[in-house]
A and B are shown apart, each in its own frame.
Chain A
């Protein structure tokens, strides 16, 4: 069964059609990367799926249409990690990760023992047990990234939406961030939809790439089908070389023009 169905989804923001009739199905356990130039509508599409911006068309989460689901039901089905999460500085890591249990706690309730255990599991899965009492602002960038993922995992949602998970990280941290997601997928059923700029990383980690351009979905398929010099040249206005080894494409590198 597909965990996300997008049926002719359009989003209008400030009078502009930012996303235009996008149709896409994600199978359970799949990792799909949204790629496309700046302003293609990647982040907006993710925010529409998370129920954060109004849309036209149909979005189904686990077979249920999105407008019919309450906010809490959506939050139990998907965890959304924005590009630059707001980390309240003095919060302890464990307090922050516990906020991920919000969809299971009544509006005026507080955490049950079960919620505390779920947050603990999320911390352990990301090897953050030793950091539980540290304050968020004392962590390094890479540690903060893991803490945000732990909060998303504490939601125990089958679907993870990542908006630009590698932006502003150095190449080592980019690799760590994506390896982490790959490990989490290996440990349990997790469907991932991420918006990414780094094409080399996208084609290495994703099962499928979905190329957005001008708000439209122009191509979907295995990395070898999408990461082609002609498609990238057309939609990114870029002169690139796709480097392949025996198994398929492994890198996208720009070609200097002058």
Chain B
């Protein structure tokens, strides 16, 4: 890490930790920040700090709020990181994690699971599994179609293939949804995105995928900088462009599909967070990637705090919150930044 990178990364880490604390603190029951810090420290061995929370308060903290904060961090961090890496490998500032048909595929998978999977034994895990598989299949279909159209060289044909596959899968999803109007509410709320069902089970389900994806993508941070000079020049500098693009797309897809599987289609995080960082700190992926991970995690935790508190005890879909607060924030960054290209 260069000295110039330390300050932004420290700031982003501070933002993330603050967001996580706010996420643990805010809720219908007031637990108090001192008690939360004490009980957090009590989990660290050898410190001999004792929690002063009652059993029910502790359950609220560890069984309700903490998994939600952790899942929000995993999903938000992954979506922002995947968005940044898609923007890098496609050299397209409008790329987002849902570019290559993940969203449509996952939507179809989840809809099928909701409509036809009610009576099965493991209906609980069926929706994430179907969403994950649908999202991954959507990307495989888009990648295969894009490659067959023009080989691995053109990113434009890959993006168009993503649009094609997404339209087709969305058509099927809409058809299935209309045929089973009794499930409409459930399908709709899944599509809008949610963290309200979060428990440690969901965290354990997706954390391994997201951790591995994040590590692989972060390892590519310098190579993504090299790709910004164009495919041919990057190749003349010794980079295997096709393999790099495939690896990054595969891991961004696996991570995004895992995030989508448990949280639905939360929009905006994957495009706004990397862009805000790029506008504030410049185009190097060596900063954009780690800061997207931290910034996306903090951003989604805060969005979830808002989603569950403004209309409490009812909840807003978190996708509505990310778009409602994300768009104006992005507009401000856009206006105050030096340049945008």
Chain A positions near chain B (C-beta within 8 angstroms): 47, 50-52, 70-76, 79-80, 82, 85-92, 95-96, 99-100, 102-103, 105, 107-110, 137, 155
B201 to chain A, nearest CB (A): 33
Closest to B240 in A: A71
A100 to B222: give the CA distance in the assembly, Å. Answer: 12
Size of B's binding interface in residues, CB under 8 A: 25
* Contact present for A99 and B229 (CB under 8 Å): yes
* Contact present for A102 and B228 (CB under 8 Å): no
* Contact present for A89 and B222 (CB under 8 Å): no
Q: Does B226 contact A (CB under 8 A)?
A: yes
A91 to chain B, nearest CB (A): 6
A193 to chain B, nearest CB (A): 14
Q: Does B283 contact A (CB under 8 A)?
A: yes
10 residue pairs of the A-B complex, CB under 8 angstroms, read A50-B236, A51-B236, A75-B237, A80-B233, A86-B233, A89-B341, A95-B284, A99-B226, A102-B226, A137-B339
Known contacts A75-B237, A85-B229, A102-B234; 19 additional CB pairs below 8 A are A51-B235, A51-B236, A70-B238, A71-B235, A80-B233, A85-B230, A86-B230, A86-B233, A88-B229, A90-B282, A99-B225, A99-B229, A102-B226, A103-B238, A105-B222, A108-B223, A110-B222, A137-B339, A155-B237
* Contact present for B229 and A86 (CB under 8 Å): yes
* Contact present for B283 and A88 (CB under 8 Å): yes
A109 to B341: give the CA distance in the assembly, Å. Answer: 28
- The residues of B that contact A80 with a CB separation of less than 8 Å are 233, 236
- The residues of A that contact B236 with a CB separation of less than 8 Å are 50-52, 75, 79-80, 82
A172 to chain B, nearest CB (A): 27
Q: Of A71, A90, A108, which contacts B339 at CB under 8 A? A: A90
A70 to B230: give the CA distance in the assembly, Å. Answer: 19
- The residues of A that contact B237 with a CB separation of less than 8 Å are 75, 99-100, 102-103, 155
Contact with A along B223-264 (1 / 0, CB 8 A): 101101110111111111000000000000000000000000
Q: A89-B341, A90-B283, A137-B341 are in contact. Are A52 and B235 (CB under 8 A)?
A: yes
- The residues of A that contact B219 with a CB separation of less than 8 Å are 108
Q: A90-B341, A137-B341 are in contact. Are A85 and B228 (CB under 8 A)?
A: no
Q: Does B220 contact A (CB under 8 A)?
A: yes
- The residues of B that contact A52 with a CB separation of less than 8 Å are 232, 235-236
* Contact present for B283 and A71 (CB under 8 Å): no
A76 to B237: give the CA distance in the assembly, Å. Answer: 8
Contact with A along B163-206 (1 / 0, CB 8 A): 00000000000000000000000000000000000000000000
A70 to B243: give the CA distance in the assembly, Å. Answer: 14
B40 to chain A, nearest CB (A): 34
A135 to chain B, nearest CB (A): 8
- The residues of A that contact B286 with a CB separation of less than 8 Å are 110
A107 to B234: give the CA distance in the assembly, Å. Answer: 12
Which of A47, A79, A90, A92 gathers the greatest number of chain B CB atoms within 10 Å?
Answer: A90
B27 to chain A, nearest CB (A): 41
Closest to A100 in B: B237
